Amino acid sequence: MSESNNKRLDAEVFFAGEKHTKIHCQLAMLRMLVGYLGEKNQSNWWDCQFLSPYGIRFLEINFPRTILASAITSVTAAAMRFHDERIGKKDVFHLFRLPAGLEEAVHNALPPGNPAEWTALIHGVETAIKQLNNMHDSAVDASVGPVQVGTVGGLMGGDVISVIAKHYNDAFSNKKIVLPYFTGVPK
């Protein structure tokens, strides 16, 4: 991530008149990256193309003020279904199904419009994987399929972004399906 993008996501980010914490913005960006990489034209995990140039142009017509947020929300629904079919739903959370309060905060952290600093990260598989790689500090050789990476209590922990990012980075870099998830009942 460029230095200016790092500064922007360091503590709190303001847009649409609201304050958002770093972790909420990072989870939103992680959703965008993984959502893009899992789309039909990249890894074909889910059958949609909302984050492709064609998908963005289609969404511009109906959602001119929330283009990227609409694309991320749409790909999130497809990715959630894909994950839920393989992991399950009961007392299980993943990048695309979070506890209600966190889900709302991540959704509210989606940027308005179509910000170039975000969309630049999904202008190709290599760019998206590079950004995913920048979001973690150590590699992992994860097994194929669902992989429990923690409990729901750790979802707001400092290393949650790194843990999720390195598993998806391993998946997309090695052309395998890895689905990191958290277990437990939210409080």
pLDDT of 72: 97
pLDDT of 20: 56
Helices 160-173 and 125-134 pack at an angle, to 10 degrees, of: 150
pLDDT of 112: 86
Q: Which tens digit of pLDDT belongs to each residue from 74-85?
A: 999 999 999 999
Q: What percentage of the chain exceeds 70 in pLDDT?
A: 88
Q: How many CB atoms lie within 10 A of CB 97?
A: 18
Instruction: Sketch the domain layout of the chain as residue ranges.
Output: 3-183
Joined tokens for residue 133: 């790689």
Mean pLDDT across 93-100: 95
Q: How many CB atoms lie within 10 A of CB 106?
A: 23
- Sign of the Cα pseudo-torsion (110, 156, 102, 48, in order): positive
List Cα–Cα distances, 94 to 2, 15, 146, in angstroms. 27, 26, 10
Closest CA to 50 of 128, 58, 173: 58
Mean pLDDT across 31-41: 97
Q: Which tens digit of pLDDT belongs to each residue from 164-177?
A: 999 999 999 999 99
Q: Model pTM?
A: 0.87
